[in-house]
Chains A and B, each alone.
Chain A
Amino acid sequence: MRIGVCVKQILDPTIVKFNIVTGQLDNVRYIMDPVDEVAVSEAIKQRDKHGGEVVAISLGPSKAEEVLKTCLKMGADEAIHLCDESFNTLDSYSTSIVIARFLSKNRYDLILCGKESTDEGNGFLGAGIAEELNLPLVTSTTRIDVFTDTNSATVRRRVKGGDREVVETSLPAVFTVDSVLSSPLYPPLRTILAGLKKSITILDAQALGIDLASIEPALASLGISQPKPRLKKTATMDSSLSAQERMKLLMSGGVQQKKSSAIEKPPREAAAEIIQFLIDNRIIVRQ
């Protein structure tokens, strides 16, 4: 079984800071996107179970080779670095096309990527690849069972509140992974040492046979700025609204809740207060 897994190098979001003076990011530390680490761990587990090889693919500047080195140390068989000056400003649509073009050169039974990157969180890549390669797509997978005899897979995907949908699909297919899919992998020293010896294949636009002018970007970035506090929109209560609509408005957070000072009441009244709050916000309904 040949498994392709897409990995991305991101800025560690827990420490990065926006500098208002320079308009740039400070405290920059590069890490492998944690959700991609989950995808690589899963790819390796699947390979160990069914045989075959894991190909880790990253599109990014030369620095991104670091994450591919990590993949090799985790036990990936091959590492592909899609690296070209002209790739640096690609939007997510064009990125998915370039990666798909690379994948189209070989047969892959399984293509994995994170359900959304931790830095941008747009969640487009898997869909972009699946569409370009005309493959089935299952998003937010939390468990993957592959059946090599029938060339199919049964996967679970995350829906609301811990519920799971069970989906069957033929292979090859693209799965985007949820961070609960796979526990971290602790590769044995032997695997790490073997990984250190492997080399990374670097492919630029020419080697890929890609004419970027033929890929029309979908979005242009006009730059970054300081995040505005994510205030809920406020509106004055519209008197033409019905009582039910007003409640919806409240529960939607449309009107900012008055941060009335803390309520101090005896247990009975306090509990009644809580219940009213739960009802107003539709957490519970009165029988």
Chain B
Amino acid sequence: MSGQDNTAIPETSASSAQNKSNGNGICFIAEHKDGKLEDSSLLLAAEARSIADNLDEDVAALIIGHGIRDLAQGFRPYGVDKAFVFEDKLLETYSPEFYVDVMSQLIGPNKPSVILFATSPLSNDLAPRLAARLKVGLVSRYTQMEKDSEGKLLVHRHIHGGKARVTLTPLKKPMIASVDPQMLTLQKAREAKDTQIIEPPIRLSPRLSTTRVTDFIKADPCAVCVSEAEVVIGVGKGLGCAENLNAVDELARIIGGSIGGSRRATDEHWIVDERRIGLTGKTITPTLYLVCGISGAFHHTLSIKGSKLILSINTDKNAPITKMADLAIVGDMHAIIPELTRQLREIMKPTT
């Protein structure tokens, strides 16, 4: 191993000086939707800047798609030096074959040290393909990227379900890495930069595409399995009786949530077994988990850690769930839920 490391160090450090001049040291993939940059892309720009400062390299964005030429300006506050931009009508909808081809052409022979992705359904599909195309390493969901005392690039990530951490170092350039945008900070750069736009000539061959998207099936957010839902409403012993589920159901419909619950709720047959969350049930990773009348026993909370936000409603202010919650409401779910539904009806339309 050490032999390989030794060959890697001079290569990385020698070329970083070079990269500084040709300007594609740390590269990141900008995701966008409906002609706007995704928030995750701004976070990623800030992350790329902070890594680049650490390694003394430049930052370049890669923006591809259709109708995206002006997006690069959005990166100005984050100190992005360059943006490689490629537009084509063929890229209007996501085609992994086209995207990988364009990206590898844009990256070209000036290999950056790192290419960053923010984890998303798109990048989960694309990052491995790009790594395979470039015959380089992939580090999915890294937790930290740093330089050691000798200037070697180190990446850490969790393995064995978070029970251990592995430290890796790239032997080839570029290293492809993805990071959970939830962990990133939207920090403005020390100096804003006029991002220089570069549009290299690229040829797209329409016969590249070997797969074809023929349809899209939109899920009913209330019916979808709790393990895939973006909003989950959990009910427990505090529900009291099956009839009380009606009020929860109304709330679920208005915010587009899928109802699940604790083992107590399934044991009482208030909800079906398939909707149990916990050690003997499903693992959930929603954007919002609204927990009503569930105490937060270990067997339950084990499977809710991937929730981005946890909001609890519980009569007991000492229930373990309140300590985990981003917002903990102490109160009676039977009074709060109908009130919440009523107020929501007045003000909102669902985003998803």
Contacts and interface: CB of A to CB of B under 8 A. Distances in A.
Chain B associates with chain A:
yes
B211 A116 contact: no
A263 B138 contact: no
Contacts of A248: 39, 42, 186
Contact of B186 (A159, A167, A170, A241): A241
A79 to B, nearest CB: 25
B331 A226 contact: no
Nearest to B328: A262
A30 B166 CA distance: 19
Nearest to B144: A228
Contacts of A166: 213-217
B350 A17 contact: no
Contact of B128 (A126, A216, A277): A126
A89 to B, nearest CB: 8
Given A154-B214, A248-B39, A221 B165 contact: no
Interface stretch (B83-91, B168-176, B261-269): B168-176
Nearest to B182: A253
Given A162-B225, A283-B255, A267 B336 contact: yes
Nearest to B143: A230
Contacts of A136: 210-211
B159 A18 contact: no
A161 B224 contact: yes
A168 B171 contact: no
Given A221-B167, A270-B329, A91 B339 contact: no
Interface string A103-142: 0000000000001101111111011101110011111100
Interface range on chain A (Cβ under 8 Å from partner): 35 or more
B243 to A, nearest CB: 19
B218 interface: yes
Interface string B308-341: 1101010001000011011111111001100110
Contact of B183 (A11, A233, A283): A233
Contact of A223 (B166, B181, B220, B221): B166
A220 to B, nearest CB: 5
Scoring A120, A154, A249, A267 by chain B CB atoms within 10 A of each residue's CB, the highest score goes to: A267
A66 interface: no
B161 A118 contact: yes
B164 A124 contact: no
Contacts of A275: 340, 343-344, 347
B340 A254 contact: no
A271 B336 contact: yes
B8 interface: yes
Nearest to A170: B210
Contact of A123 (B124, B216, B255, B332): B124
Contacts of A51: none
B165 A219 contact: no
Scoring B129, B144, B220 by chain A CB atoms within 10 A of each residue's CB, the highest score goes to: B129
B138 A122 contact: yes
A88 interface: no
B132 A160 contact: no
Nearest to A129: B132
Nearest to A97: B135
Contacts of A240: 188
B228 A267 contact: no
Contacts of B131: 93, 124, 127-128, 218
A120 B159 CA distance: 5
A169 B187 CA distance: 43
Interface of B: 1, 4-5, 8, 39, 42-43, 96, 121, 124-125, 127-129, 131-133, 135-141, 143-144, 154, 156, 158-172, 175, 181-188, 210-221, 224-225, 227-231, 255, 287-288, 308-309, 311, 313, 317, 322-323, 325-332, 335-336, 339-340, 342-344, 347-352
Given A267-B335, A275-B347, 7 more contacts: A13-B162, A93-B135, A137-B211, A173-B211, A219-B175, A249-B186, A252-B182
26 contacts: A121-B159, A137-B96, A137-B129, A139-B124, A139-B128, A159-B121, A163-B219, A166-B215, A218-B138, A219-B168, A220-B4, A220-B5, A223-B166, A224-B167, A227-B163, A230-B162, A240-B188, A248-B42, A249-B185, A262-B330, A264-B329, A267-B331, A274-B336, A282-B351, A285-B351, A287-B349
